[in-house]
Amino acid sequence: MAKIELIQVKGSSFFCSGRLSVGVYKQGDTVILVDSGIDSDTAKNIDAAIKAAGCSVAAIINTHHHPDHCGGNNYFQKKYPDLRIFASQFESVFINNPFTHVLCFCNAAAPSTGLRNKYLEASISVVTNVITPYEDQVIEINGEQFRIVTLPGHTFGSIGIITPDNVFYCGDAIFGEDTFNKHGVLFYTEIQSSLASFEKITWLQIDATVFYHGGMLATISATASKHARRMLETKDVIAQIINVEGTGLPIDLVTQKIMNIYRIPQSEMSFALTRTCVTAFITQLELEKKIELIMRDGLLCVIEKK
């Protein structure tokens, strides 16, 4: 694994080089991390970069529970017994019980072996400071104030963090350009609140943004608007798939068509993730009264609402 460097955004706000832009905020000889990498090996590399800067880790703020964001918690919590881990109430349920995350992709039944990997199941860690649910707020860590911005959509309890330097760490609320271009269907679990979060991001008065997937960018509103447009396009594609099939289409067949249109890799995990996104769009179309769910010959199908 390549050595991790700390890249300065502004003042005390940094992020780690490499595939995952873990946030680092320096406070004297300690740091606060925004997310923690996917596993212990990544965490160890991050820790080496922190140590090289003459610091130790005092706290982690998790933007959400996905294993690539909290999979390093376990390493840091073992290494630094006084470590504080902050997460929103919804996300802390999953971080404290990482097996619940993989259950989301298999109807809460025992997961098949294809789903049991570090991308869906983080090592266990314990959130020590639960952030009040669903409210923008300021939290104080070691005498400095950090703004917590609620950004539901990617997950229900996702948050962004704005440091005292006015640098915004957005987690996966929106993605950097490479990730945006690589994935035809971006991972969002609730469409309406995602659109509201994109709008909210557009209006943030911040000096720079760090994407967990994609490094930093000075201005954010164009990227947020691009996400909203993509989301509406994907919703239209799914509506069209459903509407041409007059007798109703099983949800797995909608997923199949989406996987083929967007050339999504044919793996069990990709199918499970895509089906989750498709389900979010189907729920949105149902809320908009454009489709309905019906049972047909033992299959749950979606059909255009007349």
As a residue count, the chain comes to 306
The residue type at 179: T
Helices (H), the chain: 40-52, 67-70, 73-79, 89-96, 99-103, 177-182, 191-202, 221-244, 251-261, 268-287
Q: Return phi, psi of residue 191, to 5°.
A: -80, -50
Which of 172, 210, 272, 274 binds Zn ion (CB under 5 A)? It is: 172
**Smallest distance from the beta carbon of 287 to Zn ion, in angstroms?**
23
Least Å from the CB of residue 260 to Zn ion = 24
Helix (H, G, I), strand (E, B) or coil at 150: strand
Is 35 a residue that touches Zn ion (CB under 5 A)? no
Looking at 48-56, 108-116, 169-177, 277-285, which segment touches Zn ion (CB under 5 A)?
Answer: 169-177
User: How far is the C-alpha of 74 from the C-alpha of 50, rounded, in Å?
Assistant: 17
Question: What is the pattern of x (binds Zn ion, CB under 5 A) and - over residues 207-236?
Answer: ------------------------------
Distance of CA 30 to the CA centre of its chain: 26
The 10 Å Cβ neighbour count of residue 291 is 24
Q: How far is the CB of 117 from Zn ion (least distance, A)?
A: 15
Number of residues that bind Zn ion (CB under 5 A): 2
- Cβ distance to Zn ion smaller for residue 165 or 172: 172
Q: What binding mask, one character per residue, do residues 59-78 give for Zn ion by CB under 5 A, x or -?
A: -------x------------
Considering the complex, what minimum distance in angstroms separates the CB of residue 11 from Zn ion?
27
Beta bridge partners of 236: none
What does the binding site for Zn ion look like in residue numbers (CB under 5 A)?
A: 66, 172
